[in-house]
Amino acid sequence: MKIEKSERLKSLPPYIFKELDRLKTEEIKKGVDIIDLGVGDPDMPTPAHIIKALETAANDPHNHQYPSYSGMDDFNKAVTGWYKHRFNVDLDPEKEVVTLIGSKEGIAHVPLAFINPGDFALVTSPGYPVYEIGVKFAGGQIYLLDLLKENHFLPDLEIIPDDVLQQTKLMFINYPNNPTSAVADNEFFQKVVNFAEENNIIVCHDAAYTELAFDGYKPLSFMEAGGARDVGIEFHSLSKTYNMTGWRIGFAVGKPEVIQALGQVKSNIDSGVFQAVQVAGIAALSGDQTCVENINAEYEKRRDVLVNGLIELGLSIEKPKATFYTWIEVPDGYTSSEFASHLLLNTGIVATPGNGFGSAGEGYIRMALTVNTERLKEAVDRIRSKGF
């Protein structure tokens, strides 16, 4: 029997991390003590009050049935309450919120609601691979917006060809940014709103990292920009904010017509988030946010250990204001993949090559702050002893 993959699967970009994963597996088999800074998965536990809320809700038989695809009313109200408290943005819980099985699910599905074969979407490079994959699964085309150091890793909207703009339906942006850790101000968001209005483009802002910030910095929501709720939606996740990556709960807010269309896709594909998890999400969003402050304080310590240590070694890196990622320029004589391989084979450190996030990521590696300070100090010491 011959098995043939679909054209949509064949069209996906090659998995460039495959070789690095192979090398990592080989090093582990050799007994090498691996320090994995490649995965953006929090290592700290979910706060206890959230776990307690899940435990109580899971014991309630009422929560064992199919949930609403658009989310429990109480969860959606918790989302709007959180947006009001955090960003002073008023949202309608019935029309401007949809619950997601993690923000990744919504990001992947929203192109199915708007992209016809041949339509364009604007996607940042480097960027979260799901933006591109979701568009390609919907039969769309990609126009890459390079994020460059000289532009503070913000896209240049003025260089997009007119013929592309005429065929563009969606635009994906993400600030604070993965993988560059760059941040955006209200002036940039307002520029995006004006651009979207002029060109009839739906903006999809991935705001998964707005709550991971340091030194007193408070990232903005795209929804704070004037007119943002008329041109787009914002995706959010509880994964990074509350260390809930495995729980799979997030949400999207914004323009009602876009929220409704995304909900229509979801109603035909999934059955919503387990209600007990939504109850836990309510506890997270509505409860004491001291846990978030404590999480950020820990990441800030880790950031200082890693960034200061790498700068002392002569690597070029800007201290991030937000996210738990560090975006590091590779030394002269290396490509991104070569430097990542060097670190793995000679120091036992896993870092992600920047070109895995798009061609504009070449020349960088990403390290995540998802191990404790002692391991980060050890990582710096290993690089110091082996050199580059």
Q: For 258-289, write each residue's pLDDT tens digit.
A: 999 999 999 999 989 999 999 999 999 999 99
Helix (H) or strand (E) holding 170: strand 168-174
Q: For 125-168, write each residue's pLDDT tens digit.
A: 999 999 999 999 999 999 999 999 999 999 999 999 999 999 99
CB within 8 Å of 315: residues ≥ 6 apart: 328, 329, 331
pLDDT of residue 70: 81
Q: For 239-261, write each residue's pLDDT tens digit.
A: 999 999 999 999 999 999 999 99
- Stretch 327-346: mean pLDDT, rounded? 95
Considering the chain, tell me which residue range(s) the CATH 3.40.640.10 domain(s) occupy: 49-286
Top CATH class, 7-45+291-383: alpha beta
pTM of this prediction? Answer: 0.96
Residue among 202, 127, 118 at smallest CA distance from 164: 118
- The answer on pLDDT for 340 being more than 80 is yes
Considering the chain, tell me which residue range(s) the CATH 3.90.1150.10 domain(s) occupy: 7-45+291-383
- Stretch 302-321: mean pLDDT, rounded? 97
pLDDT of residue 23: 81
Q: Does domain 49-286 have CATH number 3.40.640.10?
A: yes
- The answer on pLDDT for 21 being more than 80 is no
Q: For 202-244, write each residue's pLDDT tens digit.
A: 999 999 999 999 999 999 999 999 999 999 999 999 999 999 9
- Stretch 291-317: mean pLDDT, rounded? 98
Residue type (1 letter), 207: A
Residue 44 DSSP SS3: coil
Residue 99 DSSP SS3: strand
β-bridge partners, 145 = 124
- Stretch 339-350: mean pLDDT, rounded? 95
- The answer on pLDDT for 17 being more than 70 is no
